[in-house]
Copies of this chain bind each other. A is one copy, B any other.
Amino acid sequence: MSDLLTIADKTYQSRLIIGTGKYKDFNETRDAIETSGAEMVTVAIRRTNIGQNADEENLLDYIPPEKYTILPNTAGCYTAEEAVRCCKLARELLDGHDLVKLEVLGDQKTLYPNIPHTLKAAQALVDDGFKVMVYTNDDPIVAKELEAMGCVAVMPLGSLIGSGLGILNPHYIQLIKEDANVPIIVDAGVGTASDAAFAMELGCDGVLLNSAIAHAGNPVLMASAMRKAIEAGRESFLAGRMPRKAYASASSPLEGISR
């Protein structure tokens, strides 16, 4: 079955996008990413050396851009200006690479996105020719606005970054997906394999995660779990699940159940 994900005119077999931070070392990063089957990996430009510091180990020696789509991200930016500057630095470091993941955070406590700054930065980046995948909250109106602006993927949070609380509000994620014409990728919150499968069953086009693998007891084994979970959730969505019923003999779905 051919079921490819297309982002900014490039196609991917895998619907899992993996972060590169929080691992023990670059060897573990590489092993986990290889096992996950991910074809796109995201890199925090402010925290990870991809050539800024000539003296340090370079992530790209472990995760080669010939093999993976590198997705520079603006983690650690709290204003539109910082985020835009960060993307420009990435484009320079990566020889004109224009696919970026924009994230503008609201505060250090929650790492919840700052939506007004996100909107502003997204517009500036699109105007400047970037292909913007944008981290956002689960607001369906904002999601439409980001799509209308020209972002190439909209990435609502499942729950807070680093929380592992799963998809706290599947209803809004579904509302976003229902009306979207660009890929919707759940970004942040996935803590375990069933969370990832569930995100895909909601109809989302992909999942981006980092801590769930990097902070698992065994990151490489969790990477394998996530690969399978994403595929399982996608196939389950495409297959079409059985109807829910209050009990098997009920003639209509969920008749008689109150909540």
Contacts and interface: CB of A to CB of B under 8 A. Distances in A.
Interface residues of A, number: 82
A195 B125 CA distance: 40
A257 to B, nearest CB: 6
B109 A192 contact: no
Contact of A115 (B107, B139, B161): B139
Contact of A111 (B114, B119, B218, B248): B248
Copies in the complex: 4
A148 B120 CA distance: 20
A29 to B, nearest CB: 16
Interface stretch (A53-61, A90-98, A238-246): A238-246
A48 to B, nearest CB: 17
A256 interface: yes
26 contacts: A110-B141, A111-B249, A112-B139, A116-B116, A161-B248, A162-B245, A163-B245, A164-B245, A165-B171, A168-B168, A174-B256, A178-B256, A192-B236, A194-B194, A194-B201, A197-B229, A197-B232, A211-B248, A212-B241, A216-B236, A216-B240, A222-B239, A225-B235, A226-B236, A228-B229, A229-B236
